[in-house]
Structure 1
Amino acid sequence: MQTNQKPAALSGYQKVVIFILAMTQFTVVLDFMVMAPMGDILMKSLSLRPEQFGLAVSAYAFSAGASGLLTAGFADRFDRKKLLLFFYTGFIAGTVFCGLAVNYHLLIAARIITGLFGGVIGSITLAIVADIFSLEQRGRVMGFVQMGFGASQVLGIPIGLYLATAWGWQTTFIMIAGLGALIAVLILTRMRPLTEHLLLQRSGSAFSHLLQTVLSKRHRVGFTATALLSVGGFMMMPFSSAFAINNLHITEHQLPMLFMVSGVAALVVMPLIGKLSDQVDKFLLFSAASVWLMIVVLVYTNLSVTPLWLVMVFNVLMMVGIMSRMVPGTALTSAVPEMKDRGAFMSVNASLQQVAGGISAVFAGLIIRQEHPGSPLQHYDWVGYIVVAFSLLSIYLIYRVSRVVRQKSELAAAVPVMPEA
């Protein structure tokens, strides 16, 4: 069982790291998330069918998945600060290319480049969190780091939608790249090198390290759980704005407010859930949040024309469910690998998550139908039923992850080992 001891206080440097990682997540999440609210704009401006837009979203996910697998074997052999700076710089360049795209094919190519670099940043961030913060602190820390998700909706998405409406969707990506350049300077100047894991490395090739990471039974449980967690979001999110506009009759001018309200809810909920996750059993919190989310999804995906205030309520309830699953689930999964394997584990984990999400977005694009631009989306409720089924399965898999973490903690208590940061 999870202990309820009071988490250690955070140092000044740890708070600086949290801010840098949160801002890094803000830009990476915004770059991906903004595709959903701009979905209706992109589908109309580039004359895209639902399956084409699903592929545009998945292009990032598939390239991110490939990148995660390619870098997994090397992820534990470099200073994590340098690794983060390298991939974040590539992410900024890819985002600039998105802003320069003038047609569908160039956009696909730009999203592939962005995914190759951006898709690895999340795994590096998790490895840094696991290196610097104890398990008793990680729920709280992940709550703050994942606030980038909410902040992207409160600030990034409304501003991005305004720019897309006023000067074209390309300007949104230019804005993200400019902000990313400022954050890269912070990483370079304020973050200390992270090399302690290098002292624990075994001899052998990068491929053998990757193979050992993948073949570990304990790791495979974490991989499977994380992959399934991404299915729901990737199936519903890409078509969320098109559903809101064409089915619920939310106007394009109301859309930024809708995302802003959801984002404010995330900003409020994330720190609270993070603290709660460090005080109660993480699996029980995850299970309760999953049941909550399943109920909201079933109702929401079956709505027709709905007043704006009620749509806002449902989006807030859905956001609470998503965040309340994400924080404890991520904290538990981060505790599965040993320090020497964290980089490889997180890279493979992020890779499988992106690939599973990419397949989900493509699959959703094949399920959903739209007779012509502006007509209601058909079969969005089918997507909701599939999300519920995968949510049920994820509860069982996170239970297995929690057992692995508990067994690891019991073994560490019985056998003296080098303490982790």
Structure 2
Amino acid sequence: MQFIASLKSKKITPEQLFMLSVLVVNGGNYLYNLILGRLLGPAQFADAAVLITFLLVLSFAAMTFQLVTAKFSVLFENQVLKGFISKVYKNALVVGIIMGVLIVVFANQLQNLFNTSSSNMFIVFGCGVPLYFLMSVNRGVFQGKKNFKSLSITYQGEMLSRLIITLGLILIFNIQSSVVIAVGIIASFVFGLIPFKVPTIIPKKALELSKTHTKEIRAFFIITVFYELTQIIINNSDILLVKHYFEAYEAGLYASLALIGRMVYFIAWMFVMLLLPTVVQLKKDGKETASILFKYVGYIAVISIAIIVLCLSFPETIITLLFGDSYIAMAPLLWKYAIATSMFAISNIFAYYYLSLDKYIPVVITGVFGVLQMGLVIFYHESLEQVVHMQIIAMLLLLGIQLVFFKYNQIKEKAI
């Protein structure tokens, strides 16, 4: 009885609940990809990987609205906050519709560019894009207010519905089509909107933000757009370029490698979600923020080292267990890819930290090296191994520059 009572007294904090939820979501997303890889095989999985990559690109684009909403949900209050949220929803919906229409209109060109078997999968995917932008603003409100319970529900709903609906369609109807995957993705956007509170209709005057607020929002939005663009380039350009330059079989093999190697990045994302509102609030309260950065960098470094060691020690076992013998050719590259993503994950923590503090040089640095990585792969892609090596070079330079900037900034602050 005393043991049970002690367990009850130790309540799980909302932050811990969210971290646990993110681990479950990442696990579910990995399971989704792994099952698709086994069911479809390398060649067909290459098409699925393009759609999954498009989903990641969309998530980074929509993350701009989520981060802007999260940050100013901390800073704004009452009617100003309501007016701000209402405007963000409207702008996000407009951008989502424009992006969705572009994907639908250029579906045939996208099919030719990425060597996919169908253009219909892009048409179906494009129809769901506006929903994703609405979902991201909704999540930004929860993130900024640290309503981690509701935030967890939206991610759980998206992951579970995509997993169940997609695999259900494939297994029940025996349809191994990229269009089915696109349908599952769209359905998950609907479930990801839950819980969704329709913005309150308030008087027009209350919607008008001051020039100061508008300027702050615009500045942060622009730099966040730029940064999320760099995230898209660094995280997804390699898969799309490999799909363009290599045959479907090799592209499918590489997609499996990327999925396993990026495990550390998806774990790091969990800490980024907690980092931004915490740093903004500490800055607002006039408190120091570096300790939070050290805490999360330490977590990511330990996790990264553990994953790299595992990938180096048991590469064939990991690939066989996760994807099967068809993908075993990627075993020698697994630990190398893990190194590249680990360096990027740590660099990302620094960039988001300074983004929270309205310091944008690290964001520009990330952009430069994102373009460098893409350029290196475009010019050096004789083999999949060379593609991985180019990413290691770019990410090593990026992490080094981020560390130098942090040290310089610390010295500069102490001198003031």
Structure 1 length-normalised TM:
0.46
More helix by share: 2
Higher relative contact order, chain-length normalized (CA < 8 Å, sep 6+): 1
Flag the structure with larger Rg. 2
TM-score (structure 2 length as normaliser): 0.46
